[in-house]
Chain A
Amino acid sequence: MAIPSLLKVLLYLLAFPGVLFLCAFSTCVEWFDRKVYARLQNRIGPLHTGNSGILQPLADFIKLMAKEDLVPTHADKGIFNALPLFSFASALTAFLMVPIFRVHLPFTSFPGDLIVIIYLLSIPTIVYFLAGWHSTNYFAMLGSFRNLTQLFGYEVPLFLSLLTPGMLAGAWHGGVWSPANWQMSAIGQFYMTHAFLIPVNIIGFAVALIALQAKLERVPFDAPEAETEIVAGAMTEYSGKKLALFRLTVDMELVAGSALIATVFLGGFVLPPVALGGTDISAPLSFILFVLKTLFVVALLSLMRALMGRLRIDQTIAFSWRWLAPLSLIQVVIAVGLKAFVRF
């Protein structure tokens, strides 16, 4: 590989839209989430660190990094220490897949990246389970059981609802139906040119939002880390740097998940070419569009968090299979039916 292209890849991985950008963006999104949540509860929210508290999540992160790091006596040290890195890496890789503006590298946008990102986003949940299991703590163990139990509830509706926009965006190629190759940028492109089709996916959008909330373990689906019941669930024994890494991972999951939904349901970054004074400025504009759509999804998630109480784990599972799964199936039927009878 030539040096300039290698540099470009490194820049892409480490700075933008890789590690640095994602860390900065996810802390900002956490601030946004906290601020919206606080305003909905008639509070002010973070205020003093940085401009209207925007640096508060970063300050929390730095503070946690400086805290004492404890490992339980009976815990398996190696695994206990390695797990935060696993979840961090998978969330990071997942976000790399999300198309955030027009420039792409072949290894971040390829046919089937939608499937890959869904799987990458599942890894942190498994890591939380392992983290709780290896903590040798009853609260952590109860939390990790709930982690897995919940996973079986929301995973199927989430997958189904995230895949349906791709089905609708697909096309017939010589008798073979290619559902937009399950490629996020292609799906986004399709919905930008067929904007009238966005409302068709409204059921899937709602299901995906709710399932994402369950995946992120936020109210009303925060039974796995219910503070008043099991202290902090799987995270109970984690402290210091590892906890900081886990918390950052959760923020990244929030960003990656919201960005994913914004892309496949709302068209994401895609924008027709815009010229200003002869130069094409659609690349920065498309990035701004992407950020706005992601924040819109995050705001909806915050609203859900403020409006409800916590469901019991059995209620969560019952709700998932009684409502979310059938609704996502209905969405599949709508997408397939539309595809079969309408040409567009």
Chain B
Amino acid sequence: MPTIKVPLGPQHPALKEPESFKFELDGERVVGVDVRMGYAHRGIEKGFEGRTFTQGIYLAERICGICSHAHTTPFVQNVEELLKIEIPPRARYIRVLVGELERIHSHLLWLGVAGHEVGFDSLFMYTWRDRELVLDMLELISGNRVHHGMNTVGGVRRDVSADQAEKLLEMNALVTARTDYYIKMCTAEPTFMARISGVGPLSKQDALDLNAVGPMARASGVKRDIRKDDPYAAYGEIPFEVITAESCDVLGRAVVRVFELLQCVRIVGYVLKNMPAGDIRVRAPRKVPAGEAIARYEAPRGENIHFMKSNGTEKPDRVKVRAPTYANMPATLATLKGSFVADIPITVAAIDPCFCCADRMVRLVDDRTGRNDLMTWPQLQRYSREWLGRNRRDLIGN
């Protein structure tokens, strides 16, 4: 049987965001795969250059719709490094608190999506119901469910009162109970196990060679976690374990995430009980001295890197964001080769893809001529006039 080429995306029910995969299939087997990114490019990096550092925080928050705190934290860390200011300990703990709650809601969301990808919609409904609990906790802290707006240069914007902490601890106990249930379910439900165990294999060597990050790497036995390797905020003082799995497949990635959930709720409990008293922020000047800084952050999906270059004004000269999905793309393509068609959605979903975070540029290719030049603004205007000239009759005719 000859191979057929099947497009998956940019619009496809398995993908919640636009991304184009082209699969070469031999029956139900995948023999080749190609990816085209850039459908959700929003020009955010350029957007930073026109905004002040404070305004940039809110733009950074909107890079991702799920891990918003994971983008503001490295952003403000960079600014603080350039300003050479030290933030108060309480602010560091609050940053950890929000970050870990965000990790819980992201992992629960992933678990639901994974269930949906393998047709296990009940799991999806249950995890998303319990995720509401975590969103409520975040709302209690920050007033917002997803875009928390907690970080600011020099600390955080809102404090956690004693009342709130007590309430949060209660809710945390509930989340812990639900997490235990998911751990049991994830490691016991036969159809779910049958669909994820042995699927999307990625050996430890491949994970290292292809620079996999986050749960993807940890599921292949690579003990790589920025919170331990390069502690930021208060992670150096908080006890927790880095979860790894040796099975190197989607099952491993699921197991890493559900056991990480357990670590997260422990960290949240520890932070709430051991939060130091004091200020939550220090004043920071508006102008940032010239220099360069790099910050790393362990987002729910893996290592998130922000680079910042300042030129002594109120606005950054250049901000570069490397989101974890981008880093995991080569490894994903490697795991897809040789898999079944049926395993494509769950294999792609196993990296917890967030394509709009990863899309950094867009390249326009003319469908007929294959030309892929970038157009300047005058060129685009000229092209628009020519196109209108050619098609005017059709447009007016209708």
Interface size on B, residues (CB 8 A): 31
List the one stretch of A152-160, A222-230, A265-273 in contact with chain B: A222-230
Q: What's the Cα separation between A306 and B340 when bound, in Å? A: 24
The reply to whether B342 and A226 contact each other, CB–CB distance below 8 Å, is yes
A313 contacts across to B, CB distance below 8 A? 28, 342
Q: Is the CB of A309 within 8 A of B195?
A: yes
User: Chain A residues with Cβ under 8 A from B191's Cβ?
Assistant: 220, 308-311
Say how far B347's CB is from chain A's closest CB, in angstroms: 11
Distance, CA A229 to CA B342, complexed state (A):
6
Contact of A229 among B4, B125, B129, B341 (CB under 8 A): B341
Interface presence of A42 (CB below 8 A): yes
Looking at the assembled complex, report how far the CB atom of A93 sits from the nearest CB atom of chain B, in whole angstroms. 31
B194 located at the interface, meaning its Cβ lies under 8 Å from any Cβ of chain A in the complex? yes
> Closest residue of chain B to A221, judged by CB?
B119
- Contact, CB under 8 Å: B14 / A311: no
> Residue among B12, B14, B118 with the most chain A CB within 10 A?
B118
Q: Which residue of chain B has the shortest Cβ distance to A310 in the bound complex?
A: B119
A228 touches B6 (CB 8 A): no
Question: What's the Cα separation between A139 and B5 when bound, in Å?
Answer: 11
The interface residues of chain A lying within 8 Å CB-to-CB of B122 are 40-41, 306-307
B117 CB contact (under 8 Å) in A138, A223, A228: A228
**A219 near B340 (CB under 8 angstroms)?**
no
Of B117, B129, B191, B343, the most chain A CB neighbours within 10 A belong to: B191
Which residues in A have their C-beta under 8 angstroms from that of B125?
41-43
Which residue of B6, B12, B25, B192 is within 8 Å of A309 (Cβ)?
Answer: B192
B window 11-54: CB within 8 A of A: 12-14, 25, 28
Residue of A nearest to B121 (CB): A41
Are the C-beta atoms of B12 and A310 separated by less than 8 Å? Answer: no
Distance in angstroms between the alpha carbons of A223 and B13 in the assembled complex: 15
| Interchain CB contact under 8 A, A42 and B126 | yes
Residue pair A309, B344 in contact (C-beta under 8 Å): no
Q: Please indicate the chain B residues that have their CB under 8 angstroms from the CB of A227 in the complex.
A: 13-14, 119
Complex Cα distance, B342 from A313, in Å, reads 8
Q: Does A73 contact B (CB under 8 A)?
A: no
B123 at the binding interface (Cβ < 8 Å)? yes
- Find B195's partner among A40, A41, A139, A311 (CB 8 Å cutoff): A311
List chain B residues, Cβ under 8 A from A222: 119
Given A142-B341, A311-B191: A231 and B120 within 8 A (CB)? no
Interchain CA distance A126-B115 in the complex, whole Å: 30
- CB interface residues, A 25-70, toward B, < 8 Å: 40-43
How would residues 295 to 316 of chain A score, 1 for a CB under 8 Å from any chain B CB and 0 otherwise?
Answer: 0000000000011111111110
Contact with A along B179-221 (1 / 0, CB 8 A): 0000000000111101100000000000000000000000000
Sample of 5 further A-B pairs with CB below 8 A, known A228-B118, A309-B118: A223-B342, A226-B342, A231-B13, A311-B195, A312-B195
Give 22 CB contacts A-B under 8 Å. Answer: A40-B122, A42-B126, A42-B129, A138-B4, A139-B6, A222-B119, A223-B342, A226-B119, A227-B13, A229-B344, A230-B341, A231-B12, A307-B122, A309-B120, A309-B123, A309-B189, A309-B191, A310-B118, A310-B120, A310-B191, A312-B342, A312-B343
Binding site for B on A (CB under 8 A): 40-43, 138-139, 142, 219-220, 222-223, 226-231, 306-315
> 3 tightest CB-CB pairs across the interface, nearest first?
A310-B119, A309-B120, A41-B125
